[in-house]
Amino acid sequence: MAETTKKKRRTRRVRETIREETRAAYREAILEAAAKTFGRLGFHDAKMTDIAAEAGVAAGTLYNYFASKDEIFALMLERGQEYFVETVQAAAAAEPDPAQRILVFLRTVFSFLEQNGPLFAIYLRQGGLNEWSRQRLRESDNHHIRRNVELLKAAFAEAQERGQLRDDLSTEELRELFTGLMDAQVFAWVSRGCPPDLVAKAEVVFDVFLNGVRR
C-alpha cells in the first residue's frame, strides 16, 4: 500500500514535470510564432488569429499561456533580445584584444541576423521612433540590450587607453557612430531582401570605423 502510494506520488511528480516542460515549450513556440508574425506585419496588423495560425493552435489557446496581445508582444521582444544578446556575448565577451572584440561583435551580429532573418532587426532598435511602441515596452526590456551597449563601450574605452582610438570622443559617442554604421548595413540588407551577404560586410564596417576614429 505504502509502495503504491509512493509510486503514485512519484508518477504525479513526473507527470507534472513533463507538463511544466510542455507548457514551457508551448510558450516558446507561441513567442516564436509571435516574433515571426509581429516581425512581418507589425503590432496592429498582426492579429491574434495570425499568431495562433503561425503557432498551429487556436486563437483561444494563446490565452492559456499569456494574458493579452500586449503581454505576448512585450515577452516576445524580451525573449528575442535576451537570445540575441546572449549569442553576441557568448561570442565576443571573452576576446582579450578590444579591436578584435569589436570585430567579433560585428561578425556575430551580422551572422545572427543572417540566420534568424530580418525579424530580429527589430531588437536592434527597441521599437523605433514613436510613442506607440514605447508604450508597449516595459522598462526592464532595455536591460538585455544594455549589456551589448556596455560591451562595446568597454571595448572602446580599452582601445582608447591603448592609444588605438582618438580620445576626443566619449565612448558613448563612439558607440553611436559604430551602431550607426552597423545598423545602416542591416537596413540596406533588409531592403535588398536579406540576401546571404551580410556577414561579408563586417570587415568593411570594421575597417571604416577604425580608420574613421583612429587616433
Q: List residues binding DNA (CB under 7 A).
A: 19, 23, 26, 44-49, 57-61, 63-65, 68-70
Q: Does 56 bind a copy of itself (CB under 8 A)?
A: no
From the CB of 22, what's the least distance to a copy of itself, in Å? 17
From the CB of 44, what's the least distance to DNA, in Å? 7
| Residues between 20 and 49 with contacts to a copy of itself, criterion CB under 8 A | 39-45
Q: Does 211 bind a copy of itself (CB under 8 A)?
A: yes
Q: Which is nearer to a copy of itself, 90 or 184 (CB)?
A: 184
Q: Between 101 and 130, how does the x/- string for binding to a copy of itself read (CB under 8 A)?
A: -----------------x--xx--x--xxx
The interface partner of residue 118, options being a copy of itself, DNA, none and the CB cut-off 5 to 8 Å by kind, is: a copy of itself
What CA–CA distance (Å, rounded) separates 183 from 14? 47
The interface partner of residue 57, options being a copy of itself, DNA, none and the CB cut-off 5 to 8 Å by kind, is: DNA
| Beta bridge pairs of residue 214 | 165
